[in-house]
Structure formats: C-alpha cells, structure tokens
A and B are shown apart, each in its own frame.
Chain A
Amino acid sequence: MKLNDEMWVEKYRPKTLDDIVDLTHVVESLQAFLKNPHSMPHLLLAGIPGTGKTTVALCIARQLFGDNWKSFTLELNASDERGINTVRDRIKDFSRYGRTGFGDVPYSLIILDESDQMTGPAQTALRRIMETSSRTSRFILICNYSSKIIEPIQSRCAIFRFSKLDKTAMIEHLKKIAEKEGLQLLEEAAVRIVEYSEGDLRHAINALQTTAAYQTGVIDEQTVLQVFGEASPRQVQLMLNKALSGNFIEARKMMYDLIGQYGFSGSEIVRQMQRELLKVPHLTDTQKAELTDIIGEYDYRLTQGANSDIQLSALLAQFSKFGK
C-alpha cells in the first residue's frame, strides 16, 4: 500500500455534480441552473458538516468556468474572516473589479463558506453588496444553520438544505475509495466508520485514510476502533471526566491548556464537550439530556457574554456540582 500524495478528502472530492453522493434532489435543480447560467440566482447551501456543501459549490465553479475556475472565483471562509472589513474590502473589491464573466457566464462567483459565522453588521453590509453587484457576481453562501443568516439575505437566495448523508451511500463511497487505493475495506469496518462519523463524510474519509496509515491491505474493525480512540479529543474527555467527578480545579486547568496551548476558542471547546458527552459511558440518557441542556445554556451565554473563560469556568462548575 502506498499513502497518497493528497489528503483523500481532496483527492476524491467530486469534480462534477454528477459524481456527488446521495444528493439527487439538490443536484437536479442545480443542473437546471447550470444549463442556463444567466438564470442562476444567489445560492444558500445549508446543512450539517461533511454533507457536501463546499463540494457542490466548487463543482458549480468548475462547471461554470472550466479549468480556470480559480480565476473567476473568490473563496472565503467567513469563520476565519468574519468581520465587516472583509466584506467591505475583499468581497466588494472582487465583486466590483473582479473579472466579470467567462464565455456564456456573465458573472464571477463568490463562495462564502461558514457564512453563518459572519457578524451581523458584516451580513448587513453583504446584503447591500449582493444587491448592487448582482449583474457582475453571484454568491454561494454556505452555512450550518440558515437561521443565523439574516432574513434579507435569505430572501435573496435560493436555499438548498443538505441533510445527513445516507449510511448505505456513505459505505458505498468509502468502499469505492478503498478499492481505488488498493485496500480491502471489510464490511463491519466500514459500518463502524460511518457510525462514528455521524453522517459527516469528510470525517469518514479522513478516518479511512488514517486507518490506511496503520495497516496495509485489509482494514478491519479493530483498526478503525483504534483510530477513533486515538483521534478523539483526549484532553476534552479528561476535562469532562474531571469536572464530572467534582474536581473543578483540575478541570479548569485543563480548560486553560486547551485555550493556551492549542488556541481553542470557547465555542470550539463547548462543541467538543457536547460531542464527547454523548460518549461518556457511566451516565444515563436522562443525565446526558440534563447536561446537554446546561451546555446549551452556556453555549448561548458565550455568544452574549464578553469573556469566554468565564462562561467555560461557569459551565465546568455546573458540571462539578452535577458530579458531586
């Protein structure tokens, strides 16, 4: 076996809409737009991670502009550059002075990934730009939650919802990749990967590639379990367990490590805690629900408050109380 020169998520990212896994209804209507590019509205693609939103956007770009798609496309990740300045400077400049049109396509394309992370003012600024530049550019906004996009923008877009990918389709896809890589992926191993990835194909493919680094030839269930054990956020688990055993001070120390050494933001930590909570073995489902409610409350306060350390500390304190 050889490890390939690319991350498989990229290597096996579909190049055209036809190759896309399990999204027939979305693909069909998009194909219709692409037959007559003039008619394509702004698009809003919403859905959970790893279901193909970015892939669809990139496919559209490729199908509109061919191999030179990069010259006609501005790809921004709003979670990295979410302020109003990005909208003002980069998006505005591109939509105004960028190349306009290629062949039959009279516009250039702006792909805004994770656009639900954009601040309110930035979204308001964006709304105006979408209006004034609609002759020369089309937007594809990608987000997890369309509810976080302000309504005026939603009403300017055709909205497509991406639901969790079908398990059998994911297993099929993983097997296809394994075959191309000269690997034999056992049925129960594939099932495990899909199960752990919770409908997130990107996660699944990354896991598959990682298992391939462990073992040549055959991939079995054992290896898969090992990879997920290794790749799961150990620090977050530890922090959670410390808190749940009532040791607030230790748990808080670990929280500071996560922030200090790895630069996790408050919401990233909360997200990971939520993921890991469901895996804690000694809690009943009712307890998990109760704790989820607490996490949710503090996740909300994080967005309202001024200081993420405070909210995280408070969250851990609630967990310690719960544990005692």
Chain B
Amino acid sequence: MTNDLLWVEKYRPKKISDVVGNELAKTAFINWLQNKRRRKKAVLIYGPAGVGKTALVNAASNQFNFTIIEMNASDTRTEKAINKVGKPATSFVALDRFSSESKGNILFLDEVDGVFGQQDWGGIKAIINIVKDSLIPVVMAANDSDQKKLRPLKKVCQLIRFQQVRIPLIITTLRRICATENVEAEFEALERIAQNSLGDMRSAINDLQSISEGKQLLALQDTMFLSARNKDIGMYETLKGVFSAESVGEAAMVLNHTSVNYDDFLLSISDNLPLRYPDPADLATAYDMVSRADVFRGRVGTENWHLLRYFFNLLAEAATVSPKTFKPFEFISPPIRIIKLFWTKGKRMKLENICAKIALKCHVSRSTAKTDIVPFVKIMLEKQKSSPIVSWLKLEPDDVDYLIKMNKF
C-alpha cells in the first residue's frame, strides 16, 4: 500500500465526471463556464466543507483547458493584496488564448468567506470591483453564503449551491478507493465511515486512510475509533457533551471541538447550571468557575486569543464540579437573556428616556437619575399626578403614567 500521498490528493477528481454527487450544481457550473454570453461574470459556489466545490472547479478547468489563477484564504486578502493579483489577472486576455488550446484564464477565489476579518479590511469591495471590471470569468467558493459580509457579493454573482454528498455515493467512492489500494473492506465499515462523515467526502476519505493504514482488511470494529471528530457541534450537543462529561479533560475535549459562539455558550452554561447542580454549594463553586471564565473572556477581547484555552478549561471545570451526580435534564437554549431583553426593550427605552430628561435637569448622570432620583419622583407623582415638577422636568403624560404604574425596583 502506498502512503506517499494523502488519498484525498491522490484521488482528487481529474475530470468533471469524477466529481461525485451534486449533479444539478455541476451542470449549472459547466453551463456557466462554457457559455460565452453568461448572464453574470462571476459565480459563487457555496455549500458545506468537503463536498467537492474546489474539486469541481479544478476538474472543469482541467477538462476545458482553462488556466486557473487562484487566491486562497491563506493569502492575506486586503484590498491591496487582492488588487495586486486580481487586477492584472482580470484586465488582460491572455495571448495564448489565440494560439494554443488554452481557453484563457479563470480567477478563482477559494474560501471567500474566510476572508473578511479585520485584517482584510476593504477586501470585499475590491473583489466586487474586480468582478465588475473583469474580462475573464471569476469563480468564488464559500462555505456559508449566509454571512452578512458576503451579501453585497452575492448580488453580483450567479449562485450555485452544493449539498452534502449522499451516503451511498460516498460508500461507492470509498469502495473504489479500497479496490485500488488493495484493502478488503467490510461494507458495514465503509457505511459507518460514510455516515460518520455526514456527507463530507473529504473527511470520509481521510478517515478511511487513517483507519486502514497498514491493514489489508478493514472490519467494522476498526471504525469504532472514529468519533464525530471534525463536525461542527451545535449548542445542544455541546451542552450535552460538557455536562455529561465525567472529567475535566473530557469536557475540555468537547469544548475544543465546538463551533458555537463563545458568548452565547457562556450564557447558556450559566442558564443551565442551576438545573445541573441542585446543591447550592456545588452551584456556587460552578458559578465561581464560570465567573472566572468570563473574566478570561474579557481579557481575550479581540486579540489575545491564546487566553481562550483558560476560558475553556475553566468552563470544563464548571461543568464537572461533581460528575457523579449527573442526571439528564432538559437544556435551556437559547440563552434566557436574549429572549428577556428582546421582550422588554420597549419598556426599558421608556425608562431610559425619562432618566435622560431628569439627568439633564438635575446635572447628574442617567444612571444616578435612575437609582437616586426616579424612586422619589415616582412617589411624588403617585401623590400628586399633576405635580408642577412634571412640566419642569419636561415629562410627557405617558412618561408620568409609566412612572406611576412602574413596579418598584
């Protein structure tokens, strides 16, 4: 068995027909590529990881003799960097187009959604400009097309959607690879690899290679080592995993693989702790950890990302204060605060508004107005609704009603 190459490289599709699944998307892309009078100059291919987006672009250009000029998320893509490569690439038609078999160039921007962080400021604008001025086709690929930042980009692109590869197709592909590699595999083993991949062809091939390394025979039990190792774990699964962990290490492992938003997750943990620890002493210890984790979250800010590991470890400790007492329970998700704040926003704004008026008149901050003056004003108004201070404070009639009806702090 040769181990020189990663199988994902070795079996990378050479022709369009090698790309498995997503037939509709393939046809759409090929039509777009071949048709000289395409409606839009650019195409955005989006879909989950490992389903063949990049493979299709490479295979198609290979087959139709396009030359690819590629920019990947690993290159920095500031406005400047994009223009440096993109501008010259798109403003000329290659000479060899007239002489040789080459059909010309394609600009391929892979992983465009991984780009537009703070370092890539202005990147999206630059890409749109390039698309507008480009003389050659522009192909882009992204994992998640719903990202806000990509929205302006979607307007200038034709959209092609990729889906997860169907499990039977993955199994067939794995079998073909096994045949070439002289690995005799049980069907159940391949099935489990395929299912575990959740439609991600690349991870399925990687898994196959890693567990069949050095083996002639692949049985179902060999696949038991597979865990849902590289899938995005959602909020619910993360909570479940963390809370049912039996040690800090186990909980930390789950946290390392989660893709949930840290801040939401922190709130969710905090919401669920009381359900997890009925004993106040355990609860207090767990909350102390969560509180420390939050302090680290504050220190992480937007730059010190290496501090996140402490954040995660502390959360893991919070979830495993007394592992033996764990009983399954219904998780609260999404965070309570988000719901609460949404419902009460109107009320809150009203009070803020009143406080601002008082603050202006009494030379205090809005916050002092709220804690120190509003309680007194409320009582005065309760006693005498038409009190002259109403007009002095410039309160509207509904402000007065609000203050009178308001519950005490």
Asked whether A119 is an interface residue with its Cβ less than 8 Å from the other chain, the reply is no
Q: In the complex, which residues of chain A have a beta carbon less than 8 angstroms from the beta carbon of B287?
A: 313-314, 317-318
Asked whether B222 is an interface residue with its Cβ less than 8 Å from the other chain, the reply is no
With A77-B364, A301-B295 known to touch, is A234 a contact of B409 (CB < 8 Å)? yes
Q: In the assembly, what is the distance between CA of A79 and CA of B368, in Å?
A: 9
Q: In the complex, which residues of chain B have a beta carbon less than 8 angstroms from the beta carbon of A209?
A: 376, 380
Q: Which positions 262-277 of chain B face chain A at CB distance < 8 Å?
A: 263, 266-267, 270, 273-274
With A213-B384, A305-B298 known to touch, is A313 a contact of B373 (CB < 8 Å)? no
With A5-B388, A321-B284 known to touch, is A310 a contact of B379 (CB < 8 Å)? no
Q: In the assembly, what is the distance between CA of A166 and CA of B266, in Å?
A: 47
With A305-B294, A309-B270 known to touch, is A49 a contact of B348 (CB < 8 Å)? no
Q: What's the minimum C-beta distance from B159 to chain A, rounded to whole angstroms?
A: 36
With A307-B294, A309-B270 known to touch, is A3 a contact of B263 (CB < 8 Å)? no
Q: What's the minimum C-beta distance from A202 to chain B, rounded to whole angstroms?
A: 7
Q: What's the minimum C-beta distance from B83 to chain A, rounded to whole angstroms?
A: 31
Q: In the complex, which residues of chain B have a beta carbon less than 8 angstroms from the beta carbon of A320?
A: 280, 283-284
Q: Which positions 178-226 of chain A face chain B at CB distance < 8 Å?
A: 202-203, 206-207, 209-210, 213-214
**Among B270, B297, B366, B384, which residue has its beta carbon within 8 angstroms of that of A79?**
B366
**Among B286, B373, B392, which residue has its beta carbon within 8 angstroms of that of A206?**
B373
One digit per residue, 1 when the CB lies within 8 angstroms of any chain B CB and 0 when it does not, for chain A 283-324 equals: 000000000000000100100111101110111011011011
Give the A-B pair count, Cβ closer than 8 A: 198
User: Is there an interface contact between A301 and B408, defined as CB atoms closer than 8 Å?
Assistant: no
User: Is there an interface contact between B365 and A80, defined as CB atoms closer than 8 Å?
Assistant: yes
* Most chain A C-beta atoms within 10 Å of own C-beta, residue among B291, B388, B392: B291
Asked whether B304 is an interface residue with its Cβ less than 8 Å from the other chain, the reply is no
Asked whether A120 is an interface residue with its Cβ less than 8 Å from the other chain, the reply is no
Asked whether A265 is an interface residue with its Cβ less than 8 Å from the other chain, the reply is yes
User: Is there an interface contact between B376 and A206, defined as CB atoms closer than 8 Å?
Assistant: yes
Closest to B348 in A: A263
User: Is there an interface contact between B281 and A321, defined as CB atoms closer than 8 Å?
Assistant: yes
Q: What's the minimum C-beta distance from B360 to chain A, rounded to whole angstroms?
A: 9
Q: In the assembly, what is the distance between CA of A287 and CA of B168, in Å?
A: 67
User: Is there an interface contact between B280 and A248, defined as CB atoms closer than 8 Å?
Assistant: yes
User: Is there an interface contact between B280 and A264, defined as CB atoms closer than 8 Å?
Assistant: no
User: Is there an interface contact between B362 and A10, defined as CB atoms closer than 8 Å?
Assistant: yes
Q: In the complex, which residues of chain A have a beta carbon less than 8 angstroms from the beta carbon of B25?
A: none
Q: Which positions 361-397 of chain B face chain A at CB distance < 8 Å?
A: 361-368, 370-373, 375-380, 383-384, 387-389, 391-393
User: Is there an interface contact between A7 and B371, defined as CB atoms closer than 8 Å?
Assistant: no
Chain B contact surface mostly: helix
Q: What's the minimum C-beta distance from B371 to chain A, rounded to whole angstroms?
A: 6
User: Is there an interface contact between A309 and B291, defined as CB atoms closer than 8 Å?
Assistant: no
Q: In the complex, which residues of chain A have a beta carbon less than 8 angstroms from the beta carbon of B70?
A: none
Closest to A246 in B: B280
Q: In the complex, which residues of chain B have a beta carbon less than 8 angstroms from the beta carbon of A321?
A: 280-281, 283-284
Q: What's the minimum C-beta distance from B225 to chain A, rounded to whole angstroms?
A: 37
**Interface residues of B, count at CB 8 A:** 63
Q: In the complex, which residues of chain A have a beta carbon less than 8 angstroms from the beta carbon of B372?
A: 49, 202-203, 206
User: Is there an interface contact between A304 and B376, defined as CB atoms closer than 8 Å?
Assistant: no
**Among A207, A233, A323, which residue has its beta carbon within 8 angstroms of that of B408?**
A233
Q: What's the minimum C-beta distance from A24 to chain B, rounded to whole angstroms?
A: 23
Q: What's the minimum C-beta distance from B276 to chain A, rounded to whole angstroms?
A: 12
Q: What's the minimum C-beta distance from B288 to chain A, rounded to whole angstroms?
A: 6
With A7-B393, A313-B287, A318-B284 known to touch, is A301 a contact of B348 (CB < 8 Å)? no
- Of A88-96, A167-175, A251-259, the one contacting chain B is A251-259
One digit per residue, 1 when the CB lies within 8 angstroms of any chain B CB and 0 when it does not, for chain A 236-271 equals: 100000000010110010001011111111001001
Chain A contact surface mostly: helix
**Among B280, B292, B377, which residue has its beta carbon within 8 angstroms of that of A324?**
B280
User: Is there an interface contact between A318 and B387, defined as CB atoms closer than 8 Å?
Assistant: no
User: Is there an interface contact between B337 and A236, defined as CB atoms closer than 8 Å?
Assistant: no
Q: What's the minimum C-beta distance from A232 to chain B, rounded to whole angstroms?
A: 8
Q: What's the minimum C-beta distance from A48 to chain B, rounded to whole angstroms?
A: 12
User: Is there an interface contact between A310 and B266, defined as CB atoms closer than 8 Å?
Assistant: yes
User: Is there an interface contact between B340 and A256, defined as CB atoms closer than 8 Å?
Assistant: yes
Asked whether B59 is an interface residue with its Cβ less than 8 Å from the other chain, the reply is no
Asked whether B343 is an interface residue with its Cβ less than 8 Å from the other chain, the reply is yes
Q: In the assembly, what is the distance between CA of A236 and CA of B409, in Å?
A: 7
One digit per residue, 1 when the CB lies within 8 angstroms of any chain B CB and 0 when it does not, for chain A 111-123 equals: 0011001000000
User: Is there an interface contact between A7 and B361, defined as CB atoms closer than 8 Å?
Assistant: yes
Q: In the assembly, what is the distance between CA of A252 and CA of B372, in Å?
A: 23
Q: In the assembly, what is the distance between CA of A194 and CA of B339, in Å?
A: 42
One digit per residue, 1 when the CB lies within 8 angstroms of any chain A CB and 0 when it does not, for chain B 45-74 equals: 000000000000000000000000000000
User: Is there an interface contact between A301 and B291, defined as CB atoms closer than 8 Å?
Assistant: yes
Asked whether B181 is an interface residue with its Cβ less than 8 Å from the other chain, the reply is no
Q: In the assembly, what is the distance between CA of A79 and CA of B366, in Å?
A: 8
Q: Which positions 321-372 of chain B face chain A at CB distance < 8 Å?
A: 336-337, 340-341, 343-344, 347-348, 351-352, 356, 359, 361-368, 370-372
Contacts A5-B389, A5-B392, A307-B297 supplied; 11 other A-B pairs, CB < 8 Å: A7-B373, A49-B368, A113-B364, A114-B365, A202-B364, A207-B376, A233-B375, A235-B409, A256-B337, A310-B291, A324-B280
Among all A-B residue pairs, the 10 with the closest Cβ atoms: A321-B284, A314-B291, A317-B287, A79-B365, A314-B287, A5-B388, A260-B344, A234-B408, A305-B294, A263-B348
Write the residues of chain B forming the contact surface with A, with a CB cutoff of 8 angstroms.
263, 266-267, 270, 273-274, 280-281, 283-284, 286-288, 290-292, 294-295, 297-300, 336-337, 340-341, 343-344, 347-348, 351-352, 356, 359, 361-368, 370-373, 375-380, 383-384, 387-389, 391-393, 407-409
29 A-B residue pairings within 8 Å (CB atoms): A3-B380, A3-B384, A5-B388, A49-B372, A54-B363, A79-B368, A202-B364, A206-B372, A206-B376, A210-B376, A210-B380, A230-B379, A234-B407, A259-B341, A260-B343, A261-B348, A262-B370, A264-B371, A265-B367, A268-B370, A268-B371, A305-B294, A305-B298, A307-B294, A307-B297, A313-B290, A314-B291, A317-B283, A318-B288
Write the residues of chain A forming the contact surface with B, with a CB cutoff of 8 angstroms.
3-7, 9-10, 49, 54, 58, 75, 77-80, 113-114, 117, 202-203, 206-207, 209-210, 213-214, 227, 230-236, 246, 248-249, 252, 256, 258-265, 268, 271-272, 298, 301, 304-307, 309-311, 313-315, 317-318, 320-321, 323-324
